[in-house]
Structure 1
């Protein structure tokens, strides 16, 4: 069987952005569950995930761009964007 060269096209469509996000989230949640099962504290997991995400984004986009993104997170958190089980009264 021949290996694909870098310039050969695939015969199947690549997932769109929404599908990639869904796949990435499922992989991440599975890894999260595995870490919890191994006894890793949820706070340690959360802080590690945030560190990994910010480190990767800083490497890709630079400190200033990531700082601007972080500035906007406060309002998004307060507006419930990251709250999974929202109950509104």
Structure 2
């Protein structure tokens, strides 16, 4: 998991530096919370694959909720190419 994202859908991003800084801070805070929850689940004995599948499912549900089915589909369409390019490969410094 990385601190990068797929970017906001068209028309959803801010127009200036403050909005972008705020978006980056929001992503950083969200990532910290998610990593803590992930680590908590692993420490409680939940299988890593189960945590990953549950996180992915929860994330996709959130995308559908916020972007609608079409917006979520557009984000998900990019995933195979991003996975193949190593976009989500863990960095040694994260572990």
Normalised TM-score (structure 1)? 0.73
Task: Give the whole-Å Cα distance in 1 for the aligned partners of 2:52 and 2:87.
Answer: 17
Aligned-residue CA RMSD (Å): 1.6
Task: Give the whole-Å Cα distance in 1 for the aligned partners of 2:91 and 2:56.
Answer: 21
Q: Secondary structure at the match of 1:35?
A: helix
Normalised TM-score (structure 2)? 0.69
Segments ≥4 residues shifted beyond 2 Å: none
Larger radius of gyration: 1
Query: What is the count of residue pairs matched by the alignment?
Result: 72
1:35 corresponds, among 19, 41, 52, to 41
Range moving further from structure 2, 56-65 or 69-78: 56-65
- Alignment of structure 1 residues 7-22 onto 2, 5 Å: 16-22=22-28
| Structure with the bigger percentage of helix | 2
Structure 2: runs of 5 or more not aligned: 1-20
Question: Cα offset for 1:85?
Answer: 2.6
Question: Cα offset for 1:78?
Answer: 0.7
Question: Cα offset for 1:43?
Answer: 0.6
Structure 1: runs of 5 or more not aligned: 1-14
More relative contact order, 1 or 2 (CA 8 Å, 6+ apart): 2
Q: Secondary structure at the match of 2:78?
A: helix
Question: Cα offset for 1:60?
Answer: 1.6
Question: Cα offset for 1:24?
Answer: 1.1
